[in-house]
Amino acid sequence: MNYTLHQLQIFLKVTQLKSITKAAEELHLTQPAVSIQLRNFQDQFEIPLTEVIGRQLYVTDFGTEIANAAEKILAEVYAINYKTLAYKGQLAGRLKLSVVSTGKYIMPYFLSGFLKQHPGIELVLDVTNRAKVIESLENNEVDFSLVSVLPDQLQVERTELMPNKLYLVGYKEHGLDKESYDHNIFEGLPLIYREPGSGTRHTMEKFINKYHLPVRKKMELTSNEAVKQAVIAGLGFSIMPLIGIKNELINGELRIIQVNGFPITSTWNLIWLKNKEFSPLADAYLNYLDRYKNQIISDKFRWFSDWDK
C-alpha cells in the first residue's frame, strides 16, 4: 500500500458526493485529475471500491468501509495540524455550521472578521434547506445552525442576529401600482412556492393559513435563486426575503407589492443544541458574536433596516 493523504481526501469526497465532477468542483481540481487519482487509489486494492452503472457512480460495501477509515485518518491529520497551531498559541480547529439557503446572504458577514482574526480556523459551511439544517443539528454534526424559524421538537439555545423581512414580490411590468392592497390581491396572483422543508415556505404558509388567504399555487422550486429568476421572468409572484433580492430591487428587475400586513417579520437565529459542550473554538466564536454583532449589522446591513423608511 502506497496511497497518499491527497488520494484519501479525493476518494472520501467522491464517496460523499457520488460524483467525480462534483468532487472536482469542491476540491478545486480538474475532473481528469480526480479521475487519475481515484484510479491510482483503486489500483492498490484487489476489491472494487466504486462501480458505475449507467452514468451513476455507486460505492461498494468495501468502498464504504475504506471511506470510513479514510475519514478517520484525515480527521487525525487535521487534529495534528490544529494541535500544532494551538501549541503556538493560535486558535485553531474546524468550525462547522449549517445554514438555510437564504441565510447565505448574511452569515458570511458574521464570520469574516472572526476568520481574519484566527487564520488557523477551517470553516465548514453547509448551505441547504431548513429540514436538512435541523437534521444536521439534531445529529450533532455541526456546532451551530442559522435559521429564521426555530425547530419545534428540538431543545436548542440561541443568539439573535437580525430581523428577516418577507415581501410580496413581482416582476417589473406587473402593473400593480396602487400604494397598498388588501389580502384579496392573492385571489388573482399565481404564487411560486419554495419546496417543502424550506424556512421561507414555512413562514409563507403560516401567514397564508393565519389569514385564510385565497392563494393560487403556480409552481414549486427548490431554491431562492430559482424562485427569483422565475419571478423576474414573469412566471408568477412570490413572498421572498428582502435580504436576498437587494440587487434585483435596485436595478428594477423585481418590485415589491405593498400589501396590508407585510412585511412578514421573523428573526435570524444562530442556534445550538441545549447543554452542548463547546470546543474552545465554538466558545470563542460565540464571544465574538456577542461583542461584534451589533457593529456588523450597523456596518453591513444599514440598508436593510432603512428600507421601509
Fold for the domain defined by 5-86: Arc Repressor Mutant, subunit A (1.10.10)
Q: According to the model, what pLDDT value does residue 89 have?
A: 58
Element (H, E) at 26: helix 20-27
Please give, one letter per residue, the 3-state secondary structure of 225-283.
Answer: HHHHHHHHCCCCEEEEEHHHCHHHHHCCCEEEECECCCCEEEEEEEEEECCCCCCHHHH
C-alpha radius of gyration, the chain, whole number: 23
Distinct helix (H) and strand (E) counts, the chain: 11, 11
Determine whether domain 165-266 maps to CATH 3.40.50.300: no
pLDDT at position 217 is 80
Domain ranges of the chain: 5-86, 89-162+267-306, 165-266
Query: d(Cα 263, Cα 277) in Å, to the nearest integer?
Result: 37
- Across 73-209, where does the E strand assignment appear? 93-100, 121-128, 144-147, 156-171, 190-194
DSSP one-letter code for 153: S
What is the grid cell recorded at 71?
475519514
Mean pLDDT by 10-residue block, N- to C-terminus, for the chain (309 residues)? 85 89 86 90 90 87 90 77 60 85 93 89 88 90 92 92 93 85 88 88 89 85 90 93 92 92 92 88 90 94 78
Residue 162, pLDDT score: 93
pTM here?
0.71
- CA 183/CA 106 separation, integer angstroms: 30
Do 183 and 259 contact (CB within 8 A), yes or no? yes
* 294, containing H or E segment: helix 280-300
Strand-pairing partners, residue 259, are 181
Q: Name the residue among 96, 105, 94 with its Cα closest to residue 268.
A: 105
Measured CA distances, 202 to 18, 29, 166, 207, 215 (Å):
30, 38, 12, 9, 15
DSSP 128: E
5-86 against 89-162+267-306: fold identical: no
CATH class of 89-162+267-306: alpha beta
Dist CA 98 CA 244 (whole Å): 18
Q: Rounded to an integer, what distance in angstroms lies between the CA atom of residue 115 and that of residue 206?
A: 37
Q: Which three cell numbers stand for residue 280?
A: 474552545
